[in-house]
């Protein structure tokens, strides 16, 4: 039996697979960044839940992270912005991930340029995705 947390993270990963970028989950980045970009979903932390009684429910605001990276010799900023916008569009299309979450929201990315010796620089950011959901127990 799969936990609610895992079911939601699998659904989030599946939602991102519609994007042109390479989408990975909790993996080491590849040596080469694909032309369309790279997104690595990190499971993140569920945090401390709000608890309600009768019936007992645990309400989480789970903070998953998307590591977003583009490498383009020309138009890196534009390629990065296009990928960020595509992530937003994909998540806004179904903010409940098919009814698994109460709500899915993202926080604004803080991008950085990373120079690479002998290659085009990388533009990267970590985007926090807050997953609001309820379970019957901390391990459910």
- pLDDT on residue 46: 95
- pLDDT on residue 74: 82
Domain-embedded: residue 140: no
DSSP string of 29-79?
PPSS--TT-EEEEEEEE--PPEEETTTTEEEEEEEEEEEEEEE-SS-HHHH
CA 44, chain centre distance (Å): 9
Domain-embedded: residue 67: yes
The boundaries of the domain holding residue 104 are 4-135
Q: Does 55 sit behind a cis peptide bond, omega within 30 degrees of 0 on the bond before it? A: yes
CATH code assigned at 22: 3.30.2000.10
Q: Give CB contacts under 8 A, 24+ apart, made by 84-87.
A: 84/109, 84/125, 84/127, 86/19, 86/20, 86/21, 87/16, 87/19, 87/39, 87/127
* Alpha helices (H) along 2-109: 4-16, 76-92
- pLDDT on residue 114: 83
0.85 cut: is pTM over it?
A: yes
pLDDT tens-place values along the chain, 140 residues long: 899 999 999 999 999 999 999 999 999 999 889 999 999 999 999 999 999 999 999 999 999 999 999 998 788 889 999 999 999 999 999 999 999 999 999 999 988 988 877 777 899 999 999 999 999 999 99
Domain-embedded: residue 81: yes
- pLDDT on residue 80: 94
Domain-embedded: residue 114: yes
Could you give the angle at the alpha carbon of 119 between the alpha carbons of 113 and 124, nearest 5°?
A: 25
Domain-embedded: residue 14: yes
- pLDDT on residue 118: 75
């Amino acid at each position: 039996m799969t936990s609610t947390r895992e079911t939601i993270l699998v659904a989030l990963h599946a939602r991102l697979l519609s994007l042109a970028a390479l989408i990975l989950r909790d993996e080491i980045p590849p040596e080469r960044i694909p032309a369309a970009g790279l997104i690595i979903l990190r499971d993140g932390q569920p945090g401390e839940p709000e608890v309600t009684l009768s019936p007992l429910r645990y309400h989480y605001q789970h903070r998953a992270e998307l590591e977003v990276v583009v490498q383009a010799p020309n138009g890196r900023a534009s390629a990065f912005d296009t990928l960020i916008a595509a992530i937003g569009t994909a998540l806004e299309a179904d903010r409940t991930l098919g009814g698994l979450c109460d709500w899915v929201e993202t926080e604004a990315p803080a991008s950085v340029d990373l120079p690479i010796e002998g290659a085009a620089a990388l533009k990267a950011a970590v985007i926090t995705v807050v997953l609001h959901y309820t379970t019957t127990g901390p391990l459910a």
